[in-house]
Amino acid sequence: MMTDSEIFKETYSPINRQIRNNQNRESESTVPFTVNVQTRKWSPLYDIETESICLSITVPYHIIGKIAKSLEYGYKLCYYCYLFLTILFYFTFYLYNQLLIPVCQTQKGEKKTCFEYQRDKCETKYVQGSDGVYYPCSYNSEYDICYQTDRKCIEKNTQTLIIITIVLLNIISFGGCGYIHHQLRYEFKLKQLVPYNKWEDMLICFFLTPLSLAQQYKDLYTDPREFEGVTGIRL
């Protein structure tokens, strides 16, 4: 006599086999297909136009703001952020000029003026002038006097601080500008149905900034008829 479990197994096994067979047939009968999506292309980077290239060099933050506005990020936010980082970047050139000033190789004097030093100590001292800048002392044997030279110098600690500041400001300003530019370029390409290449676009944003901004500026005013017949979704 068959048990309940044997009856259950005998009754439902054919059903299970039929379900598995149907699944196998469906998986084997899958028809491969492809979806062709047409894309647009921007004009080449070297296709320079007077208006776009001049704006990208003189007021890049304006183009950044225009692109951000087209992506609904807001013109002013990106404009001022990019402007601040640009000013920060150019400020580092002023700091570079400070590095051209020679380092004071001697010891800082305890006295306020060079005239107070004797001959044996004169050449090894430097003092702070009335303008707040340091000047080395020098001895004139003809007049037997120690005097303050007009050659400026900076302390070693000050030079080290300037170098650290330059490095940090360059990282913040250059990296920040590149990041904002790359993010906007990426989203703008998606909107305009233009193929995106991560590494290529990243290099273009960081090292060919004027050409990249000029390229995008020209596409801000694209004729809508260019999208006719293009398959895709404009964000």
pLDDT of residue 27: 55
Look at residue 8 in the predicted model and tell me its pLDDT: 43
- CB neighbour list of residue 53: distance below 8 Å, 6 or more residues apart: 210, 211, 214
Q: pLDDT at residue 225 above 60?
A: no
Q: Which neighbouring-strand residues pair with 153?
A: 134
d(CA 118, CA 167): 41
The per-residue pLDDT for range 153-194, each reduced to its tens digit, is 788 888 899 999 999 999 999 999 999 999 999 999 988 888
53-84 per-position pLDDT tens digit: 999 999 999 999 999 999 989 899 999 999 99
Cα separation, 63 vs 79, in Å, equals 8
In this predicted structure, the answer to whether residue 228 has a pLDDT above a threshold of 60 is no
Which pLDDT band holds residue 231 (cuts at 50, 70, 90)? very low
Q: What predicted TM-score, i.e. pTM, was given to this entire model?
A: 0.66
- Higher-confidence residue of 182 and 229: namely 182
Read off the tokens for 7: 């009856």
Report the mean per-residue pLDDT for the chain: 79
Query: What percent of the chain stands above pLDDT 90?
Result: 35
Tokens of 70: 């087209």
Instruction: Report the amino acid identity of residue 85.
Output: L
Specify the pLDDT at position 47. 85
